[in-house]
Structures are given as C-alpha cells and as structure tokens.
Structure 1
Amino acid sequence: MAHTAIDLFCGAGGLSAGLEMAGFTVLAGNDVFDAAGRTFEQTHPRAKFLPGPIQELSVEHIIEVTGLRPGELTVLAGGPPCQAYSVYNHQRGMHDARASLFREYLRIVDGLRPEWIVMENVTGIYSIANGEAVRAIKSELSALGYTVEDAVLRAEDYGVPQERRRVVFIGNRIGAAISHPKPTHGPGLSEPFTTIRDAIGDLPPRGNGEDLGRVPYLSGEPSAFQRLMRGNATTVEGHRAPTLGKVNMQRLPFIPPGGSWRDIPHDLLPEGMKRAKRSDHTKRYGRMTWDGLACTVLTKCDIHWGAYIHPDQDRAITVREAARLQAFPDWFEFAGSRTEQYVQVGNAVPPLLGKAIGDHLIRLIQERIMVAA
C-alpha cells in the first residue's frame, strides 16, 4: 500500500523531497510564496501545488485535487512560518498573527484526518510565553485524537553539512508508538559528519559576481555526498556568485578560514562594528573552513550577518552552494530572482533531514503492522 503525504507551508519542497526519498508519494503542497510554488511544481511533478494563503485553502479542495477521502492520508506535514517563533525575532510572541497559523494546520488535520502528522519549526517556539505555543499545539492535537511527541533534531546528525536545530512534532491517531529518528552521523556513529569540503568541494571556482551558466563539475573523485547530490548529472547550474561591493572585497582577504570580522583591520570595519565588543557578532564576516560544518543557512547568505564566505575564494557562497549545504540535490533548480532563491533555500527543511523523518515514520508504520498481526 502506498504511503501518501501532503505538505502544507511547503516552500520549495525540501521536506517533500525528503519524504519522497523515503518512499512516500507526495500528493500536494501549499504555500503563499509564488516563486517557491514554481520551484515545487518543477521539482515535484507528481504533486499538485495549491497556491495561496492557507486561510483560503479548504479541505474540500484538497480532497477534490488529490482524490483522497478523510482518513486515507498517511501523513500531513507542515511547518508554519517560523518568523514569529524565531530566536532572531526579538518581538516574537503569541500575539503575532503568524504564530496562530498552526491553527490553520490543525483545521486541515481535523478535516483530512491523516493517520500521522509532522510539524517542523525553529527551537525559538519553546520560548514563546514560557512554552505556550508548544502546549497549545499538543493540547489541540490531543483534542482531535492525536498523541504527539516533540524533539529537537540536529540536521548534521543526519548527513546535512550544516549546524541546524529544528523542533519536530510527530503524532498519530492510530495508537502507534511514537519516537524520533536516531542520529546516523557524527563521532562514534556509522558515518562521520558531512563537511563543507564533502558538500561543495567539487563545484568550480567563481569570482565575485561571476556567472558562467551551466558548467562541469571539478575533476577528481567525488565524495559520497557529492555523488548523491549529482545523481547522473555531469554539469551544474545556479552557481553564480553574488556581487559584493568594493569595501567588502577589501575586507575579505584579511579573513582566514574560521576567521570573522575580528580579523578585518579596524579602519575597514563597518561603522557600527567599530564599537563592537570582541565577543559580539561571532559569525559576522565569517569564513567557512573546509573540514567544518556550515552555520545555519538563513534566507540571506549575507556575509554581514553570518559565516557565508567561501573557504578559500574571496566571495559569498552561491545559491547552489547554499542548496548543497541544505542537502538539496543539484537537479533541484530554484525559480524566481536570486534573492527569492536564497529565501527558498534558507526557509527549507533539508531534504536529508526530511528523509530521516520519512524513513523513521515508515519503520514506525511497519512496526505497528507487525504488532497488529
């Protein structure tokens, strides 16, 4: 029997891609972001993209386009927009309208009655009103008949070459045991962490602002991660370096691998950082190290805000490099402007994290079947 999924707040489809890698059939995705919707359509041809605000998405329409009846869907996935919860938003709180979007997700849960639910969000959700958002999610799902467990998953523990923490809620209404996937990568485990070299070391050099279109990979034996990202491809695109201004280009040569704004001569620092404490802004103007992990990929790979400088080239990382650090395969091409592409990459669930969740869900489903037998 096919395992089916629908992805709400799907963005470009990172979670959907991971679920598909695990063997799920993704039937539909919904998002309000037009460029992300075009990416989803291009990269998930078997799924139906349902554009527009979730407030305007009816259960009846989902049923109509998927052919499902209530109770037939295996898993309803979705991560309400995280800005209201994010530790980067100091005005977060339950009063923020975005923080109530999970209630729209619950409305669709109530209408579709999926066997399983998966919700993903940033760790800042725990600090809203001393955990009010988390308690509300679990309480309301319980009222709908779902048992739910939450855990913080680290993307690097599942082969993603990036330090990224996400809260994942897993629940079901069928009485099955609930747990979260165990780490597969890291010290003492079957696989080491995926390094930045493993992730992007096969991508050809770029100058500041340089765009050569579709180009061959560098020669040499690719890493296991690179082979996974390439598939059968021999060339790659989307590998255009952003254009940094003159003063930034003057700063970059002073920053060594693993260095940051502290390595820039005082007279070249931005005015606001000339007064900064050495302990402040730890990631700003950070240069990656080949043997390390990337910092969290955000919706702007802006060197002023994070460690997004290439390990040995004086430039910011490209969309393709950001996508690799999020574990997006190279066949995933992002629609929209370059700014919109960075937003899609940064907002996504890394597909390999999605695959780990999907693989684990299938194990839980199979275990329940064996127990029932």
Structure 2
Amino acid sequence: MSFFSGALGLDLGLEEAGLEAVSYNEIEKVFCKTIKTNKPETHLYECDIRELNAKMLLKDHGLKKGELFAIVGGPPCQAFSTAGKRKSLQDERGNVFLHFIDIIEGMRPKYAIIENVRGLLSAAMKHRPHNERGEGYPALTVEESPGGALAHIIAKLEKAGYKASFTLYNSANFGVPQVRERVVILASREGKEIPFVAKTHSDKDDNLPPWKTTKDAIWDLRNRKTLEHTKFPEKRLKYYRLLTSGQNWRSLPVELQKEAMGKSFYSGGGKTGFLRRLDWNKPSPTLVTSPTMPATDLCHPDKDRPLSVEEYARIQTFPDTYKFEGKTLDKYKQLGNAVPCGLGKAIGEHLIKFDEGKLEKYNTDGKLSRYLNTDHKSWYQNLRKEHTDLTLFQ
C-alpha cells in the first residue's frame, strides 16, 4: 500500500521487483492524473492522508490487521529539505509524516519502507528560534536538536514493535545514471533488523559495474525533434554557447565569470550548479523540479537547452512508455520529486530476498553515499555525544 505516491517512481521499482500495489494515495491533482493514466486498475485515494485511517483502509481492502506485506511512502520533504527554509516536525507537513506513522502502527504491515531527503537526518522535532539560543538560554533539548525528528520517528516505530534500520543511499550505486541521495528507512515488524541494500554499481574498482552515465541514459535522444522542454533566457544562453560537456561558469574567462555571476562571483560556496552543462561521461547531478533554476541549472551536455522531460524520465529510470500528465512544468515537478525507479527496484528485490530468507548480498557498513555518519548506527552515536539521555524517545 503506497502513500504520498507522487509519480510512482518508488512504486514502479517495487512492482518491477515483484511486489503489487493494492492502492495509491496522492493529494496533488496533476500527480493523480498521471497515476490514473498509467495505473487505471489500481485504487487511488485522491486526498490528504489525514482523511485516511488504518481502520478505514483495512475495511476497504478486506484486510485484517497484520495481513499487509508492506506500507511504503515518502512523506513531503519540504519541511526537511536543505534546499529551502528548514522547518521542524511541528510544521504542518511534518504532522503529515506522523500521521503516516500512525497508519503503519494501526495496520501493522510486515514491513515499512519510508524514504525522504537527506535533510531528515538533521531535522529537529521542534524548532527554537535562533534568537533564543546560545548564551543566556537553556541548551537545546533532544527534540530541538539536529536529528530530533528522525529520532522521534524511529522511536515511534520501535514502540509499535518494529525494528528499523536506515542509511543514505546514492541512487548511482544502484544503476541509476544520477547522483541522487535519499534516506531510506526499512522497518520489520518481526524484530529482525533489515541489512542495508548492497550496491550493484560503483565509481571505484571493486568488482562491480561502473556507475551509469548521462550518455548511457540519453545519448540516443540527442537528435530527436519532438522533445518537450522549457528554454533558458538569452542572457544565460550566450554563456552556454561558450561551454562544453561537463563545464560550468568557472570554465569561462574570468571577466565573463564576473559578468555572468554578478555579486555571486564574490560570495563563498561552491556554486557548481550555476551555468552547468551535464557531463556525458558522468552520472547526472540530482534532478530538481525545474531544470532552469539558476543555482541548479541542468543544461544538456551539448545542446543549448535545458534537459527535456523525456531526458528527465530516462535519468530517473522511468519506462519510455510512461505518460506524465499536465503542462511541461508539471511534468518536471513530478519527475524532480520522484524516487528513481531503479532505486525502488533494488530496495524491493532486497526486501523480498530478506523476507524469503534468501538474502546473500548486503551492505554491512551503511556507507552508500558521499556523506559520513548517515547510517542508523553511526548516526545514533553522534546524537548520543550531544545527548547522553535519549529516554525521551524510548
């Protein structure tokens, strides 16, 4: 059973692995149109998740508590996203997350799969204004500290009898031609910890196939005449005409760098997303909800245009036959918010093998992204350095 289903990226991957969705849940109208176009035979709850509850869902599907194999979902990430103003679990969208956990508790599926953005690892349960921190104020509580939200979520799952493991997964490690990182929580009702998913591809020489590249994904589309895409403004295009595959604003002559970047030229930070052409020979950077936002430009490797909707879909490993409804910007949004189907498939295959007692390959250290201390073991160790008493969440 899927919640916050979006464009079904995670669900399509799980279904390809062998699982079957009994229903989807989505609130955004255009996303719902996409679901109904591609999966007309599967029931869709077209509403806010807070209009649903475990008792209702069990009755609708003729299920008893505990009969469902898995509940999956990625609650809205805006409250935890590092791309926008950081909020807390007390935010309205954060409460939607907690209602999702309540449904898991009420339906008691054998497993739960919960995905979210990297920002969840450092999101607070409660937000204390910055002008009320520091000298003269009490130290931050666990709830107010970075990581407080995730600690609360895991505690709720464990109180309900689930054993939860999590880490940050880089989709490129699973055959997706994109560096895209998502936190994935795997929870088991039977109290046995689910190991981390073993990567299938690597950027290192460790007897695995190399990461898939942008070229692998979209080379055959480069001369198609009917691609759907937006446009860059002319003031940006004049610089893109001087750049080749893999280059960005730093590849311009210094005077043009200053002209192109304006005041940003003198500010700190990497700014690698400005005036960025994708590199044919590397995975794509993370696809966002629009390819033309200045700080996260996604320009085709050698065409003077943004990536097209079709190229977005390829890089997110959607089937070519999948149809996205809505206007062009709606399609970018659906794809930019999606979990790559390839990552979903890897998770699904892993969970099925675990359930059947046939899991032979799995990761033991949780190091499946560019970042350190993102798996539940090292993450909790870091949290305990700041807060030795975590009984609040037990």
Task: Give the TM-score normalised by structure 1.
Answer: 0.84
Cα drift, residue 347 of structure 1: 0.7
Equivalence for 1:246: 234
CA distance in 1, matches of 2:67, 2:240: 55
Equivalence for 1:236: none
Cα drift, residue 263 of structure 1: 3.6
State whether residues 228 and 328 of structure 2, in contact with CA within 8 Å, keep that contact through their aligned partners in structure 1: no
Q: Does residue 256 of the first structure (1) align with residue 244 of the second (2)?
A: yes
Equivalence for 1:40: 35
State whether residues 163 and 193 of structure 2, in contact with CA within 8 Å, keep that contact through their aligned partners in structure 1: no
Write the mapping of 1:21-40 to structure 2, written as runs, cut at 5 A: 21-40=16-35
Q: Does residue 164 of the first structure (1) align with residue 180 of the second (2)?
A: yes
Cα drift, residue 43 of structure 1: 2.2
CA distance in 2, matches of 1:266, 1:136: 46
Cα drift, residue 306 of structure 1: 1.9
Cα drift, residue 310 of structure 1: 0.6
Equivalence for 1:301: 291
CA distance in 2, matches of 1:82, 1:358: 22
Q: Does residue 192 of the first structure (1) align with residue 210 of the second (2)?
A: yes
Equivalence for 2:392: none
The one of 129, 146, 170 equivalent to 1:130 is: 146
CA distance in 2, matches of 1:79, 1:200: 27
Cα drift, residue 337 of structure 1: 1.2
What amino acid does structure 2 have at the position aligned with 1:202?
A: D
CA distance in 1, matches of 2:45, 2:185: 23
Q: Which of 130-139 and 170-179 deviates more?
A: 170-179
* 1:160-191: CA deviation from partner (whole Å, max 9, x where unpaired): 00111111100111234411210010132332
Change in Cα spacing, 1:151 to 1:266, as seen in structure 2 (3 Å) is closer
The one of 301, 310, 325 equivalent to 1:320 is: 310
State whether residues 249 and 257 of structure 2, in contact with CA within 8 Å, keep that contact through their aligned partners in structure 1: no
What amino acid does structure 2 have at the position aligned with 1:367?
A: G
Cα drift, residue 201 of structure 1: 0.6
Cα drift, residue 134 of structure 1: 1.1
For structure 1, list consecutive stretches of 5 or more residues without a partner in the other structure.
1-5, 207-211, 214-238
Cα drift, residue 304 of structure 1: 1.3
Equivalence for 2:369: none
What amino acid does structure 2 have at the position aligned with 1:312?
A: D
Write the mapping of 1:49-88 to structure 2, written as runs, cut at 5 A: 49-88=44-83
Cα drift, residue 68 of structure 1: 2.4
What amino acid does structure 1 have at the position aligned with 2:304?
A: D
The one of 9, 14, 19 equivalent to 1:14 is: 9
Residue correspondences, number: 333
Cα drift, residue 58 of structure 1: 2.8
Cα drift, residue 355 of structure 1: 0.5
Q: Which of 108-117 and 173-182 deviates more?
A: 173-182
State whether residues 177 and 368 of structure 1, in contact with CA within 8 Å, keep that contact through their aligned partners in structure 2: no
% same residue: 32
CA distance in 2, matches of 1:280, 1:152: 22
What SS does structure 2 have at the residue aligned with 1:25? Answer: coil
Equivalence for 1:273: 264
CA distance in 1, matches of 2:258, 2:157: 56
What amino acid does structure 2 have at the position aligned with 1:9?
A: F
Equivalence for 1:205: 223
State whether residues 39 and 334 of structure 1, in contact with CA within 8 Å, keep that contact through their aligned partners in structure 2: yes
What amino acid does structure 1 have at the position aligned with 2:332?
A: Y
State whether residues 55 and 107 of structure 2, in contact with CA within 8 Å, keep that contact through their aligned partners in structure 1: no
State whether residues 165 and 193 of structure 2, in contact with CA within 8 Å, keep that contact through their aligned partners in structure 1: no
What SS does structure 1 have at the residue aligned with 2:345? Answer: helix
What amino acid does structure 1 have at the position aligned with 2:233?
A: G
Equivalence for 1:228: none
Cα drift, residue 303 of structure 1: 5.2
Q: Which of 299-308 and 357-366 deviates more?
A: 299-308
CA distance in 2, matches of 1:204, 1:256: 15
Change in Cα spacing, 1:189 to 1:68, as seen in structure 2 (3 Å) is farther
CA distance in 1, matches of 2:21, 2:239: 46
What SS does structure 2 have at the residue aligned with 1:202? Answer: helix
* 1:77-119: CA deviation from partner (whole Å, max 9, x where unpaired): 0111111111112433233222232211112112211010010
Change in Cα spacing, 1:178 to 1:101, as seen in structure 2 (3 Å) is same
Task: Give the TM-score normalised by structure 2.
Answer: 0.80
For structure 2, list consecutive stretches of 5 or more residues without a partner in the other structure.
124-144, 360-394
